[in-house]
Structure 1
Amino acid sequence: MGAALLLVVAAAVAAPPAPPEPTADELAKLTARDIVVRTETSEDGGSVVGLIDVAATPERTWAAVMDLPARVDAIGALKSVETYDVTDTGLGATWTLKVFGVSVVFSSLYALDREHWTCVYDLDRSKDNDLTDASGSYQLVPLEGGTRIVYRSKMATGGPVPGFVKRWLAVDALTEQLTDMRARAER
């Protein structure tokens, strides 16, 4: 049943859009090994795009991006991740976070396209979730001397979210995650 569900997700989830072109200011940040974060907020969540350049091949970067258990040590609020229905083209993962004293549990299905260095994910609606939306993608863009990770995420809680929680979800957790992925890929 799980593998069939992953196939449905893979077919239903569109490929991410073309990677964004960094502005001149963003390119300067990337060159300085900083992270670029673009955010949009809504009452119950928002969306984010994160860019980071990695001095490693797409293969090494892909391995770092897809090592989901390694994120538990990298993201302070992430308490656990359990994978399920793992195949060559997808997997599911149940995430448990503790954000400002509140536990948040949700499950995502991931469709993997190694040929195009793309991973697209969406909320696994067959599971109980504390979020009403959690979707996005990881894209790897080969560069001369390395790889750019393009991360997109959209999240909604179904209710109002305080600004400081939105900032943590959109910027702080993203920074922890991408910085750790880069460090592991460059080892």
Structure 2
Amino acid sequence: MSALTDQELVAACLAGRESAYALLVERYTPRLHRIAARICRHPEDAEDAVQEAFLQAVRDLRKWKPTAPLEAWLVTITVRTAQKVDQRSNRIASRSDSLDAPHPDGNQRELRDQGSSTDPATAAGRADLSSRLAAAIADLPDKYRAAVTLRFQEGLSPKEIAEHLGLPERTVRTHLLRGLRALKESVGDLK
């Protein structure tokens, strides 16, 4: 069954075949989870977002247009769901956290490896930079974090990001610019 095209897979899901739904989840979960993990500040929120996104996708499967890639449609649902889950989680956390509590940065998302080095000082510096950058990305406002994540960690163009987020391309470019400025201020000198 794994050789099914997206159209065949959707048709099988709509026909009620549980194995088709299982294949849909198996086929797309890794990428969708990676995206949600970069948007949500907590790993458990990313898992919740992916589950909610799949439930939403199954409910709306008849709305998918076969002229568009299924993966792009699922990514759009996942990005929007992850933003909602993250906002909901942060509202709950802000009500229960004390003012002097440290920022909950339990989700140290791994950034793409920029190369390896055998020099311990270089490796330590790279690990520190990666940690600072991950924390800075997690602290970005939702709209900037989503745009930066999709652009630099998923490699999407501003036009593709605009389609996924349902925003004008110029707005996405503004979010990218402001997000990068905020990262530069937050991380400081990258050397």
Judge same fold: TM > 0.5, yes or no: no
TM-score range, shorter chain: under 0.3
Greater strand share, 1 or 2?
1
TM-score (norm 2): 0.25
> Which protein has the bigger helix share?
2
Larger radius of gyration: 2
Q: Which has the higher contact order (CA 8 A, sep 6+)?
A: 1
